[in-house]
A = this chain, B = another copy of it.
């Protein structure tokens, strides 16, 4: 069993604002992240898959294929988008946690089709904050 990771990235706008709450409660909880006109981030996404090494290729999976899947099924949907407004199926609160789970749910069946197992989604919102989800 060996683990291989591919890094991709996307840039998106979002805000953290719970519509069931008052503006005061939103500001008290989310601070500047609740700014009504949004803010944004350069997100760095690390996708880790695991499996056995194919002796013919030396690969767990072909990283070109993994990169293509991530770009087609994740980046294309999130890059240069507003996570609150533009992304079908995104939870109301597009926190880093929820975006990571959203990405896991997309990629988990795709990685299975490639003959490997999705191990981890690691998502950086800034250099100082990241989330890891293992399913």
Interface SS of A by simple majority = mixed
* CA–CA, A88 and B48, complex, Å: 30
Q: Within 8 Å CB of A85, what residues of B?
A: 37
Chain B residue at minimum C-beta to C-beta distance from A12: B39
The number of residues on chain A lying at the interface, defined by a beta carbon within 8 Å of a beta carbon of chain B, is 64
Interchain CB contact under 8 A, B80 and A32 = yes
Known: A32-B80, A101-B53. Contact between A129 and B40, CB under 8 A? no
A11 — which chain B residues lie within 8 A by C-beta?
A: 39-41, 126
**Which of B42, B55, B86, B128 is A7 in contact with, Cβ under 8 Å?**
B128
The 7 closest A-B pairs by CB, nearest first: A40-B40, A58-B95, A58-B93, A32-B80, A37-B82, A13-B13, A39-B80
Which residues of chain A have a CB within 8 Å of any CB of chain B?
1-9, 11-14, 16, 18, 20-21, 29-33, 35, 37-42, 48, 53, 55-60, 62-64, 79-82, 85-86, 91, 93-98, 100-101, 126-134
